[in-house]
Amino acid sequence: MDRRLPRDEDGLAPDRRLRMAVGTGGGAAGGRPEALDAADGGAVERRVFVHATPRVVWATLHDPTLTGVLFPELKLGPAAPAWPAAATTRSARARLGLLRDAARVESLEARPEARFRLRVTASGFDSEWSWRLEPVAGGTRVIHGATFEPFDRWTGFLVRLGRASLASRVESHLRALKERSEAAQRGTNPI
């Protein structure tokens, strides 16, 4: 265990199975289960320590060959030359639970090596995702937050049938980003 890191930052050690450190939006601290938060459009935030520089994490987050791995619920269309600059958009196909829908992905904020926010909008939902990259202890603390707002009951029902909560999607984004960024930092190819 790295003694220079706060205890909660080290909670993602590979020998302890990948666990996320912090959550907001009700969760256990608010006395409500995370599944309820995801169902009623709550916000979820998780953080992880990545043994890679913010530059490597940023490059991994925007690597066009990794979009299917980093965002398995989105099949992104071709990117405009300016992507990920703020206010650029691209088409996508969203797959959340049993819901399949055409979507529009808009970059809301892009500050290289520091912050990235995007909005995914479809006919049945609106979702925002954000990543903050903070250099710490020779690596990067990545704070990933997300919201999900269904526009109607039918959309919420189809998403919940997939049995994947918003929290589990955020955790899978972070897990993939951590694995790929650390592999890139080591200069090895991921398995």
**Residue 167: pLDDT over 50:** yes
Residue 66's closest CA among 181, 186, 161?
181
Residue 166, pLDDT score: 86
Mean pLDDT of 32-60: 75
State how far the Cα of 77 lies from the Cα of 67, in Å rounded to an integer. Answer: 10
| Largest CA-CA distance found in the chain, in angstroms, rounded | 48
Residue 155's closest CA among 106, 82, 96?
96
Residue 97, pLDDT score: 85
State how far the Cα of 155 lies from the Cα of 123, in Å rounded to an integer. Answer: 9
Would 14 be classed as within a structural domain? no
- Owning domain of residue 143: 20-186
Would 6 be classed as within a structural domain? no
CATH number for the domain harbouring residue 58: 3.30.530.20
User: In this predicted model, what pLDDT tens digit does every residue of 52-103 receive, in sequence order?
Assistant: 999 999 999 999 999 999 999 999 999 888 888 988 999 999 998 888 999 9
Enter the DSSP assignment of 170. Answer: H
Mean pLDDT of 134-145: 94
Residue 5, pLDDT score: 53
- Residue 10's pLDDT band (cuts 50, 70, 90): very low
Residue 42, pLDDT score: 77
DSSP letter string, 35-84? HHHHHTT-EEEEEEEESS-HHHHHHHHT-GGGHHHH-TTEEE-PPPTTTT
Would 166 be classed as within a structural domain? yes
Would 142 be classed as within a structural domain? yes
Q: What is the pTM of this model?
A: 0.74
Would 4 be classed as within a structural domain? no
**Do the Cβ atoms of 74 and 93 come closer than 8 Å?**
yes
Query: What is the share, in percent, of the chain residues with pLDDT greater than 70?
Result: 76
Mean pLDDT of 8-37: 43
Would 92 be classed as within a structural domain? yes
Mean pLDDT of 113-124: 94
**Residue 29: pLDDT over 60:** no
Would 30 be classed as within a structural domain? yes
Q: Which amino acid, one-letter code, is at 126?
A: D
Would 105 be classed as within a structural domain? yes
Mean pLDDT of 146-154: 91
**How many domains does the chain divide into?**
1
**Residue 20: pLDDT over 80:** no
